[in-house]
Homo-oligomer: A and B are copies of this chain.
Amino acid sequence: MSDAGIDSSQPNGRHEEAALSAPSPSRRTDPDARRSDDVVRNLLRRIREGSLRTGDKLPNERDLATEFGVSRPVIREAISHLTGRGVVSPRGGSGSTVTAVAPERAQEALVLYLRDNRLDYRSIHEVRELIESHAAGVAAVRASPADVEALQQSMRTLRESPGHLAAAADADVAFHSIITRITGNEVIELILSSLHTSLVTVRRHNLALPSAYKEAVRSHQAILDAIVEGDETGARVAMSAHLSAVFQYWQETNQPEVP
């Protein structure tokens, strides 16, 4: 890792180094090498290594500009880049501060990745079934009365809204989200919510099928029953069966198109 740009050499004026036999490393040669990238790397390194910690203020843009020997626009560009990544957040008037990456940011990145790379549903399904079945099992052990009530509420909504696609989809998502939340594991929550977002198409498609809709109601009830009884294995198996059924329905009734 070169990590160039940390030294404050190259004060400002571009150096001339006349006729370096090499491919002339002077000025700019590679169009994909922006000056701001050096700044980005450097700041990220400072953050990673702790000299800039979450909550700290970055030096002001003008100082950074002189420090790196570049102009302010370059610094601003670097900060914009970092803002896009969610690691700093500038505030007009006061400085820019290093912030913790929000879960939404990570989730969004995951969703976009899944979307852009058109991953086959099989891969997503494999992970989802694995994690969510586990979550159901944990929920069976840990669910509080309030949790159970919330689950029952979403069941009622789901049951009472056949034909109401939007409502049914919401109730479906709610049911699964509640179970996820019961685990109290943020990593699980993050991953599953990302997968759920990516599967919105699948969900809508399936719930529009009467048979799949009925299956969903039946399966959700089975899962809920197992959770109420504290039957860890039962909940896990029921969830697994449910998700497999969802996958099945999608595959049988759908064009090879992907979520």
**Interface positions of A (Cβ within 8 A of B):** 28, 31-32, 34, 36, 54, 73, 76-78, 80-87, 91-93, 100-103, 105-106, 108-110, 112-117, 119, 123-124, 126-127, 130-131, 134, 185-188, 190-191
Q: Are B130 and A134 in contact (CB under 8 A)?
A: yes
- B-chain residues with CB within 8 Å of residue A31 when the two chains form the complex: 91-93
Q: In the complex, what residues of B have CB within 8 A of residue A87's CB?
A: 112
Q: A84-B82, A84-B84, A186-B119 are in contact. Are A106 and B110 (CB under 8 A)?
A: yes
Known: A84-B81, A91-B31, A93-B31. A187 touches B109 (CB 8 A): no
Q: Which residues of B contact A112 (CB under 8 A)?
A: 85-87, 101, 106
The 9 closest A-B pairs by CB, nearest first: A84-B84, A31-B92, A80-B80, A100-B116, A109-B109, A106-B113, A81-B84, A101-B112, A106-B109
Find the residue from A76, A84, A87 having the highest chain B CB count within 10 A.
Answer: A84
Please name the residue on chain B nearest to A31 by beta carbon.
B92
Q: Is the interface of A mostly helix, strand, loop or mixed?
A: helix
Contacts of A134 in B (CB 8 A): 130
Distance from A113 Cβ to chain B, minimum over Cβ atoms (Å)? 4
The residue on B at minimum CB distance from A118 is: B100
**Contact A101 to B109, CB < 8 A, known contacts A187-B114, A188-B127:** yes
| A103 vs B82: C-alpha distance when bound (angstroms) | 18
A32 partner residues in chain B, CB cutoff 8 A: 91-92
Q: Are A103 and B113 in contact (CB under 8 A)?
A: yes
Known contacts A92-B31, A116-B54, A117-B100: does B36 contact A80 (CB below 8 Å)?
A: yes
B123 & A101 in contact (Cβ 8 Å cutoff)? no
